[in-house]
Structure 1
Amino acid sequence: MKVKAPGRVNIIGEHTDYNDGYVLPFAVNKFVFLSLERTKKFIFHSETMNETVEMDEPKKLNKWTDYISGVIRAFEKRGFVVPPVKIVISSNLPVGVGLSSSAALEVAAAYAISEHFGFNVTKLELVRIAREAEVEFVGVKCGIMDQFTSAFGKKGHAIFLDTMTLNYEYVPLELEGVEINLVDSNVKHELSSSEYNKRRQECEEVLRILGKKSFREVKLEELGKLPGTLKKRAQHVLEENERVLKSVQALRKRDFEMLGKLLFSSHESLRDLYEVSCEETDFIVEFLRKKEGVLGARMVGGGFGGGVIVLSKKGVFEKIKEDLARSYKKRFEIDLTFHKIESADGVQKI
């Protein structure tokens, strides 16, 4: 049994998915590949890490195997019996750039196990199993967007997802005359995981103070009741939700000028209100803002490093990326990596 699950890029809707908000991701043509066969012990092998781990039963080791072990434990919690398997993984999905390689691995493992053993789990339940693995077993309190996109992705479309209801619709990604690129800053500041969980706590505190169950009940005019930092966090979430709704309309009308403006605006909010950007990604966005033919750019992912998504007129980015790389190297002594991004279908057998 061989399967592949894609990573994802989120066009807009950052730090909204764990706040009952809207997101607009699409699955990308970079994948985690996974093969599965029955064995006498659990054997997990990563070609990327060049490492094999054997165990009698799935357990937490605080390494990449936790994503697979967590998926198996989530199946077991639902009453399924997963016999010992050998799982081999490889990937052409860059790690740490905000393409959700961990979610792709979880979805690939969940799908392969369900298909191989005939569990007949629905796609939505696979998403829940994959997310549960990351939240409860790995210990990262992520939203559901990453796993959802890896499972439900559709080539040529973005997914407009309401993370509160899990209602979704496919929005055609007809990028005529424009293209999407990803710039990897090649920095990941140590703050990333601790600050990510701190932002979640701050958002929970906002709801507690305002006496609300969800951000969907919060109005902009109520934010005056909050202390400074919490007010900024809440303002980002509410305004980012509005930007997602406007971006869906822009995409439908193929108004890429408007979509680009919304990307820049999202980055400013992530920098000034949510305070999760960093000097390096700010530098990339500001450099691109001044270039003719670049319509929009913003940091993607949890923040404190990682990637920047760039929307530009076709052919423009190729002409300016070397200049960007030179300027960045001069400023930070770090090389940039570039990825041209195209849409893909969700998890599938090979």
Structure 2
Amino acid sequence: MVVYSPGRANLIGEHTDYNDGYVLPFAIKRYVKIEIQPSNVFKVYSEQAKRGIQFNKLEKTNSWADYVIGMVVKLMERGYEVRPFDMRIDSELPMGAGLSSSAALEVGAGYAIARMMGYDIPRVELAEIAHACEVEFVGVRCGIMDQYTVALAREGHAMFLDTLTKEYKYVPLRLDGVKIFLIDSGVKHELGNSEYNKRRYECERALILMNKKSFREVSLEDVEKIDDDVLKRRARHVVTENERVLKTLSALETDNFQLVGKLLYESHYSLRDNFEVSCSEVDFIISYLETQPSVYGARIVGAGFGGSVIVLAESEFPEVFGHLKEKYWQRFGIELKMMEVYPSEGVFAHE
């Protein structure tokens, strides 16, 4: 059996999912491919790493295999029996590009194991198990957006997700004459993971200072009363980003891509200035795109400190990208990569 588990792009709503906020992601037609068959011992092989791991003990290895081992652990904790398997993993998702390759692997591995064992696990439960794997086993305190998107996405749609109530609805992406591109900056600064957890801690500290239990209770007036400048800016990003998601949702209903693009740029400025998760390479890309009439908007996606930029543009954008690629090489000596992305369905299998 072969399972295809999609990557995730987030149109808008960054660093809000672990703050009880709103997000507007969609799955993309780029996949982690997982082949699985029963075995007498647990074996996992990665085409990207060109190496395999065989394990009997369900312990951390501090490697990519933890996303699979962690899913076995969390499935068992939920009462699902998991017998040994031979799993081969191949991926067309670039690691560290902010496209949620880890969630794709978690959800895909869980889905493959469930199918092999004959379980029909509800997709919401599968997403919850994958989230527990990432937070409790791997040790990254992420929100639920990535796992929900990979498990539940619908082709041709974005997913408006309220991470407080976990309610979601599908939003048609009628991209007539408009296209979505992802530019891989080719950089992933090492401080990313530690700074991600630090941002989460800073948001928690800001809530304590405002005497609030959730950012959904917070207004901009509350934010401006915070004395600590850093914590004030972190909180300001969360509150204003939630507003931008709701405005984007309304703009998509009327296909107002000019407004969507404006909101994407505003999101990037806030991620750069208030949340401080951008970097010089990504800011260079955004600055260039702002000068191009065929580009509606763009922003950094994912945890930050490198990774990818999402671009909403007209169909002639590849020509613009060609000029940007040349300037970027001259400035940083890094070759930019670009892909056009199409909204995909969630994880699925081919028998």
Gaps of 5+ in 1: none
Take 2:224 and 2:287, find their aligned partners in 1: how far apart are those partners?
31
Tell me the CA shift for residue 278 of structure 1.
0.3
- SS state of the match for residue 99, structure 2? coil
Take 1:318 and 1:118, find their aligned partners in 2: how far apart are those partners?
45
Tell me the CA shift for residue 58 of structure 1.
2.5
TM-score by length of 1: 0.98
* Aligned residue number for residue 267 of structure 1: 268
Tell me the CA shift for residue 119 of structure 1.
2.8
In angstroms, what is the RMSD of aligned CA positions?
0.9
Paired letter, 2:168: Y
* Aligned residue number for residue 155 of structure 1: 155
Take 1:68 and 1:39, find their aligned partners in 2: how far apart are those partners?
15
Post-superposition CA distance 1:219-270 (Å, at most 9, x none): 1111133111101000000000000001011111100000000000000000
Take 1:61 and 1:277, find their aligned partners in 2: how far apart are those partners?
30
**1:325-336 superposed matches below 5 A:** 325-336=325-336
Take 1:260 and 1:225, find their aligned partners in 2: how far apart are those partners?
31
Find out whether 1:247 has 2:226 as its counterpart. Answer: no
- SS state of the match for residue 11, structure 1? strand
Paired letter, 1:84: P
Take 2:337 and 2:95, find their aligned partners in 1: how far apart are those partners?
12
Take 1:332 and 1:53, find their aligned partners in 2: how far apart are those partners?
36
Is the Cα contact below 8 Å between 1:42 and 1:58 reproduced in 2? no
Take 1:209 and 1:239, find their aligned partners in 2: how far apart are those partners?
18
Paired letter, 1:297: A
Tell me the CA shift for residue 212 of structure 1.
1.4
Q: Bigger CA drift: 234-243 or 206-215?
A: 206-215
Take 1:273 and 1:291, find their aligned partners in 2: how far apart are those partners?
25
* Aligned residue number for residue 345 of structure 1: 345
Paired letter, 1:32: V
* Aligned residue number for residue 144 of structure 2: 144
Take 1:79 and 1:148, find their aligned partners in 2: how far apart are those partners?
21
* Aligned residue number for residue 85 of structure 1: 85
* Aligned residue number for residue 207 of structure 1: 207
**1:173-184 superposed matches below 5 A:** 173-184=173-184
Tell me the CA shift for residue 322 of structure 1.
1.3
Post-superposition CA distance 1:33-92 (Å, at most 9, x none): 111111111100111211111111322111110000000100111122211111111111
* Aligned residue number for residue 23 of structure 1: 23
Paired letter, 2:268: H
- SS state of the match for residue 48, structure 1? coil
* Aligned residue number for residue 237 of structure 1: 238
Is the Cα contact below 8 Å between 1:42 and 1:57 reproduced in 2? no
TM-score by length of 2: 0.98
Find out whether 1:304 has 2:305 as its counterpart. Answer: yes
Take 1:24 and 1:322, find their aligned partners in 2: how far apart are those partners?
29
Tell me the CA shift for residue 179 of structure 1.
0.6
* Aligned residue number for residue 132 of structure 2: 132
Take 1:78 and 1:177, find their aligned partners in 2: how far apart are those partners?
46
- SS state of the match for residue 298, structure 2? strand
Query: How many pairs does the alignment contain?
Result: 349
* Aligned residue number for residue 224 of structure 2: 224
Take 2:26 and 2:286, find their aligned partners in 1: how far apart are those partners?
21
Take 1:327 and 1:349, find their aligned partners in 2: how far apart are those partners?
42
- SS state of the match for residue 334, structure 1? coil
Post-superposition CA distance 1:278-323 (Å, at most 9, x none): 00000000100001111101001101000001111122x1111111
Take 1:132 and 1:59, find their aligned partners in 2: how far apart are those partners?
15
Paired letter, 1:329: W
* Aligned residue number for residue 285 of structure 2: 284
Q: Which runs of 4+ in 1 moved over 3 A?
A: none
- SS state of the match for residue 175, structure 1? coil
Take 2:279 and 2:328, find their aligned partners in 1: how far apart are those partners?
14
Take 1:223 and 1:312, find their aligned partners in 2: how far apart are those partners?
34
* Aligned residue number for residue 42 of structure 2: 42
Is the Cα contact below 8 Å between 2:38 and 2:116 reproduced in 1? no
* Aligned residue number for residue 118 of structure 1: 118
Take 1:170 and 1:223, find their aligned partners in 2: how far apart are those partners?
31
- SS state of the match for residue 24, structure 1? strand
Find out whether 1:321 has 2:339 as its counterpart. Answer: no
Take 1:191 and 1:297, find their aligned partners in 2: how far apart are those partners?
23
Gaps of 5+ in 2: none
